[in-house]
Amino acid sequence: MEAFPSLLHGLSVAIQPMNLVFAIIGVFLGTAVGVLPGIGPALTVALLLPVTYKLDPGGSLIMFAGIYYGGMYGGSTTAILINTPGESASLATAIEGNKMAKAGRGGPALATSAIGSFVAGTIATLGIAFLAPWLVEVAINFGPADYFALMVLAFVTVSATFGASPLRGLTSLFIGLALGLVGIDELSGQARLHYGVPDLLDGIEVTTLAVGLFAVGEALYVASRHKGAPEKLEPVRGSLWMTREDWKRSWKPWLRGTAYGFPIGALPAGGAEIPTFLSYATEKRLAKHPEEFGHGAIEGVAGPEAANNASAAGTLVPLLTLGLPTSATAAMMLAGFQQYNLNPGPLLFAERPELVWGLIASLFIANTMLLVLNLPLVGLWVKLLAIPQHWLYAGILVFATMGTIAAKPSVVELSMLLVFGLMGFLMRRYDYPVAPVVIGLILGPMAEQQLRRALAISLGDPIALVESPLAAGLLGLSFLALIAPFVLKGLDRFKADED
Amino acid sequence: MVGTGGAARTRIKRRSLVVLAAAASMAFAGSLGLAGSASAQIAELKIMAPAAPGGGWDQTARAIQSALTTSGIVKGAQVTNVPGAGGIVGLAQFVNSGKGDGSLIMVNGLVMVGAILTNKSPVTLEQVTPIARLTAENQAIVVPANSPIKNAQDLVAALKADPAKVTWAGGSAGGTDHILVGLLAKAVGVDPTKINYIPFSGGGEALAAILGSKVTAGVSGYGEFEGQIKAGKLRLIGIAAPARVAYIDGPTLKEQGVDLELINWRSVVAPPGLTKEQTANLVSIIDKMAKSPAWQETLKAKGWDDAYLSGDAFGSFLKNEQVRIADVLKSIGLTQ
């Protein structure tokens, strides 16, 4: 295997002092900007691209890698601390992470997220180095029917976020699915449910919905409860760091999250959201204390966070081997390559090995930097929760609004944020879970498009949906996951009758 | 920032403010622009990119900004992004609030012509003042390397045999790639409503579908396919250019008997209600910019073809394109 010496050579490139500096700058900027909801890593890279015209290609790409990882991590920090997922991939983190923070366990939540990201990033980077050529063959053979089957599997897992009542959970999910219909239908080019508002033609932005439902909704809810007995937030209860028990409960979810994130991230239409949902559902099912889920289970942070970062590394597989940008950030990195007249693709590994291996090696460096930068900050971040509630939530509102405006300066967007905030408040007030709404908005349109694409290619023949062994396997798995709980319950009852 | 500012008593709080401020200044740094040195009639030119940062129109706007300021043609230039709906959100704002503003331009292109029609935009390009066409990209048709289709004739034969069985992967519905397939069907006498065009968001997914032989053929800008064609993974069937292009090793569709020309052009336009002097001034600014070494360098670096056409000639080109696109969208069945 020639990958190993190449990787070592790459490390020697990445470890040059100047490149280390670029990695630090990248990670810092990425984290700082990732903290703002709405401004994701892609936007950051886009805005920084002109600045790097004069830098050498290696250095600036290394910086971009840092921004990418940093942005992923920054989004989880706000998800955990103030229930504001910075991007859709940190949605699953917010569900348990924020509950942990409120119970005074923000420190361990941030730590398991940082270390999990590190572990996942490192394993996934090794994956790029050794598995990329093989994985990419699998990835391009993944057709619309296979994607549809993957989405179905993801849908089955949604029930993990339902909370106590399946009916309320399904109601939330269908609200999300309905919101997902808004905008131009990608396959026919026709507009749906836009009521003549041009801003709605692009559909509803996931981050606007998530920030509205989670952050604004919660701020309103807290304000409405304030008169009675204000909820006391304890910034730190017990250890600030992860206990032995926390480590024990975290390491398996990290590995499982990586196993979901990396391959799905490498799929051209895989994305970062699906692996986080799958990981969350898996952890809930496998946990020793499933009753803790919904009240701050560390597994529910560790798994999705690892999946999130591993998928970020996964998207680099098709980018480097085929020149396929499969996420907004990867598209920006492609633009970064092109500005130096480099064409990522099958020839890049052969033509500019020092650059590719330098980038892969710099992912290790960026990952390590991320840990070095963020672990000491955990103590500081957690103290944010010590701020009196009225200040904290006022700050969150400003923060949420600013992020939304910075991402899309439009009155309609802001109004949507407010409406979703009100909706989030009412849902909390009447005890409907909010996460399924966002999941519906993310998965609905994806599943619809892949299904219709698959059927268009097969000229309407539904057999095409199960023709590929992969699709059939995934659908079978979803079916099992769907009926297993009922069967097990039935068996239990059966056994009970026997006694 | 007032809300958090009031609480900025502790060190932690101040730190988070620093982070916040850094993030905010980052976000806006891109739109500030560099100050030029030479004087000109327009102190500061505002360039609207009716798209999110990163896309083709945004890159064009930022390239114009940097060419103008480094060559000292204007003192300063500022890019604003107004994303949404193929550019028509930006267009509406441009026409409604920019009326008579002689220091404002907007980047647009072929995609906007289609988006106006498919999205039934109340504001159209009839209302803007044409300034100049700047760049063009060659549209290419490819098939997977293992496809039995070797050239345009094979592809046309397959299309004529059963249009529904020829599946096309390309960009969004009603976009340049879709228009190309519609024009091709019309050119070879196949009913354009029968074509089986499958839109993908983002080039990556479409390219993966072509490489994985999930579809018969793919359409996109040549640049998106270049690496794969050179690596022998895709076969170039033809480009929709009027004549062969030096850097592309492959025939045009025209020389293979398919009478079809389509380039994906980008241009700049000004708001409605300008005086003759204002228009002439903007045209001369863009004229100077297009000739500047800074712009020529950018074209080379980005792989954009120079398609410069300004003033009245561009005005009539724009009119013709609108008629042609309206016609093809109607025959595909996307608009009534």
> Which residues in chain A have their CB less than 8 angstroms from residue B7's CB?
387-388, 391, 394-395
Above 60 in pLDDT, residue A180? yes
Q: How many CB atoms lie within 10 A of CB A411?
A: 9
Q: Smallest Cβ distance to A347: which of B6, B24, B227?
A: B227
Give the residue-averaged pLDDT of B310-330. Answer: 89
In degrees, rounded to 5, the angle at the alpha carbon of residue B191 between the alpha carbons of residues B186 and B197 is 85
Above 60 in pLDDT, residue B8? no
Above 60 in pLDDT, residue A7? yes
Whether B5 has its CB under 8 Å from any CB of chain A: the answer is no
Verify that B155 and B216 share a domain, yes or no.
Answer: yes
Above 80 in pLDDT, residue A257? yes
Contacts for B148 with CB less than 8 Å, ≥ 6 apart: B154
**pLDDT score of B203:** 60
Q: How many CB atoms lie within 10 A of CB A281?
A: 24
Please indicate whether, in this complex, the C-beta atoms of A380 and B12 are within 8 angstroms of each other.
Answer: yes
Per the model's pLDDT, the better-predicted residue between B212 and B83 turns out to be B212
ipTM given for this complex: 0.81
Per the model's pLDDT, the better-predicted residue between A346 and A468 turns out to be A468
Most confident of the ranges A36-50, B15-29, B34-48, B303-317: B303-317
Interface test with A, best of B96, B198, B297, B334 (most A CBs within 10 A): B198
Which regions of B41-89 does DSSP assign to beta strands (E)?
A: 44-49, 76-81
Whether B294 has its CB under 8 Å from any CB of chain A: the answer is no
Q: How many CB atoms lie within 10 A of CB A471?
A: 23
Q: How confident is the model at residue B25 (pLDDT cuts 50, 70, 90)?
A: very low
> Which residues in chain A have their CB less than 8 angstroms from residue B89's CB?
198-199, 201, 410
Give the residue-averaged pLDDT of B124-128. Answer: 86
In degrees, rounded to 5, the angle at the alpha carbon of residue B158 between the alpha carbons of residues A190 and B110 is 40
Give the residue-averaged pLDDT of A265-271. Answer: 82
Based on the structure, what is the number of domains in chain B?
2
Residue B96 covered by a domain: yes
Which regions of chain B does DSSP assign to beta strands (E)?
A: 44-49, 76-81, 104-109, 129-144, 167-170, 196-199, 217-221, 234-239, 263-270, 305-310
Interface A:B, Cβ pairs < 8 A: 208
Per the model's pLDDT, the better-predicted residue between B18 and B100 turns out to be B100
Above 50 in pLDDT, residue A134? yes
Measured in angstroms, the CA of B263 and the nearest CA of chain A are apart by 21
Q: Smallest Cβ distance to A326: which of B81, B205, B228?
A: B205
Q: Smallest Cβ distance to B302: which of A338, A397, A409?
A: A338
Average pLDDT, chain B: 81
> What are the φ and ψ backbone dihedral angles of B122, each rounded to 5 degrees?
-70, -25
Q: How confident is the model at residue B228 (pLDDT cuts 50, 70, 90)?
A: confident
What is the 3-state composition of chain B as percent helix, strand, coil, each rounded to the nearest 5?
Answer: 50, 20, 30
**pLDDT score of A420:** 96
**pLDDT score of A233:** 63
Above 80 in pLDDT, residue A49? no
Q: How confident is the model at residue A306 (pLDDT cuts 50, 70, 90)?
A: very high
Whether A341 has its CB under 8 Å from any CB of chain B: the answer is yes
Q: Report A:179-198 residues touching B (Cβ under 8 A).
A: 184-191, 198
pLDDT, tens digit (0-9, with 9 covering 90-100), for B235-289 = 999 999 998 988 889 999 999 999 998 989 999 999 998 888 888 888 888 988 9
Range of the domain at B286: 45-131+270-319
Please indicate whether, in this complex, the C-beta atoms of A391 and B89 are within 8 angstroms of each other.
Answer: no
Verify that B152 and B247 share a domain, yes or no.
Answer: yes
Average pLDDT, chain A: 83
Whether B161 has its CB under 8 Å from any CB of chain A: the answer is no
Q: Report A:43-82 residues touching B (Cβ under 8 A).
A: 43-50
CATH number of the domain enclosing B248: 3.40.190.10
Distance CA(B88)–CA(B92), nearest Å, equals: 6
Residue B13 covered by a domain: no
Above 70 in pLDDT, residue B22? no
Q: Among residues of chain B, what percentage have pLDDT more than 90?
A: 27
> What are the φ and ψ backbone dihedral angles of A105, each rounded to 5 degrees?
-115, 30
Q: Report A:204-263 residues touching B (Cβ under 8 A).
A: none
CATH number of the domain enclosing B61: 3.40.190.150
> What are the φ and ψ backbone dihedral angles of A242, each rounded to 5 degrees?
-70, 135
Give the residue-averaged pLDDT of A372-378. Answer: 82
Above 80 in pLDDT, residue A55? no
The DSSP letter of residue A236 is B
Which domain-ending residue is among B246, B263, B280? Answer: B263
The candidate with the shortest Cα–Cα distance to A278, out of A474, A82, A98, A105, is A474
Q: Is A379 exposed, middle or buried (0-12, 13-18, 19+ CB in 10 A)?
A: middle
Residue B115 covered by a domain: yes
Lowest mean pLDDT among A449-463, A481-495, B216-230: A481-495
pLDDT, tens digit (0-9, with 9 covering 90-100), for A344-372 = 666 677 777 777 777 788 788 888 888 88
Interface test with B, best of A321, A399, A457, A461 (most B CBs within 10 A): A457
Verify that B217 and B198 share a domain, yes or no.
Answer: yes
**pLDDT score of A416:** 94
**pLDDT score of A345:** 67
Verify that B257 and B275 share a domain, yes or no.
Answer: no
Which regions of A39-195 does DSSP assign to beta strands (E)?
A: 183-184, 191-192
**Structure-block tokens of residue A149:** 């089957």
The type of residue at B46 is K
Which regions of A55-194 does DSSP assign to beta strands (E)?
A: 183-184, 191-192
Whether A467 has its CB under 8 Å from any CB of chain B: the answer is no
By DSSP bridging, strand B129-144 and strand B305-310 are: antiparallel
Q: How confident is the model at residue A195 (pLDDT cuts 50, 70, 90)?
A: confident
Per the model's pLDDT, the better-predicted residue between A374 and B155 turns out to be B155
Verify that B151 and B79 share a domain, yes or no.
Answer: no
**pLDDT score of B3:** 35
Asked if A359 and B265 count as a contact pair (C-beta separation under 8 A), the reply is no
Asked if B184 and B254 count as a contact pair (C-beta separation under 8 A), the reply is no
Q: Report B:302-321 residues touching A (Cβ under 8 A).
A: 302-303
pLDDT, tens digit (0-9, with 9 covering 90-100), for A320-337 = 877 777 777 777 777 677
Please indicate whether, in this complex, the C-beta atoms of A50 and B2 are within 8 angstroms of each other.
Answer: no
Give the residue-averaged pLDDT of A252-275. Answer: 89
Above 70 in pLDDT, residue B36? no
